[in-house]
């Protein structure tokens, strides 16, 4: 394995975590999977017909953290998002 790939894998960890895309405007929730993650963002997999806004809260129950995110790119059922900060899970979300 070459050093460049190994270095990238350390920066962007491959994970498969269940998560929720939470939109406060309509209090809606879209289930998704976090495919890989790094300190500034993540790649998400969502249902191909999911309606995902450009900005939302990504809540990852196993981490207990909500990430304020903005979509950077969309390809089919995948989204690339950038983290803008963290905030507590919204009170209306029961998960």
Flag whether 70 is in a domain: yes
Flag whether 92 is in a domain: no
Flag whether 93 is in a domain: no
Flag whether 95 is in a domain: no
Output the domain CATH number for residue 7: 2.40.10.220
Flag whether 81 is in a domain: yes
Flag whether 7 is in a domain: yes
Flag whether 47 is in a domain: yes
- CB burial readout 3-42, b (16+ within 10 A) else e: eeeeeeeeebeebeeebbbbbeeeeebbebebbbbeeebb
Q: What is the mean pLDDT of residues 65-69?
A: 93
Domain span including residue 64: 3-87
Q: Residue 95: what pLDDT?
A: 54
Number of folded domains that form the chain: 1
Query: How does pLDDT run across 21-32, given as a tens digit for each residue?
Result: 998 766 788 999
Q: Are the C-beta atoms of 36 and 20 separated by less than 8 Å?
A: no
For the ranges 34-38, 48-52, 79-83, the lowest mean pLDDT is seen at 48-52
Flag whether 94 is in a domain: no
């Amino acid at each position: 394995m070459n050093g460049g790939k190994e270095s990238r894998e350390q920066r962007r960890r491959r994970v498969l975590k269940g998560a929720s895309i939470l939109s406060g405007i309509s209090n809606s929730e879209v289930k998704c999977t976090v495919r890989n993650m790094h300190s500034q963002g993540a790649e998400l997999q969502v249902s191909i017909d999911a309606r995902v806004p450009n900005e939302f809260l990504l809540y990852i129950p196993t981490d207990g953290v909500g990430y304020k995110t903005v979509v950077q790119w969309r390809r089919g059922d995948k989204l690339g998002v950038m983290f803008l900060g963290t905030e507590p899970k919204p009170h209306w979300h029961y998960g």
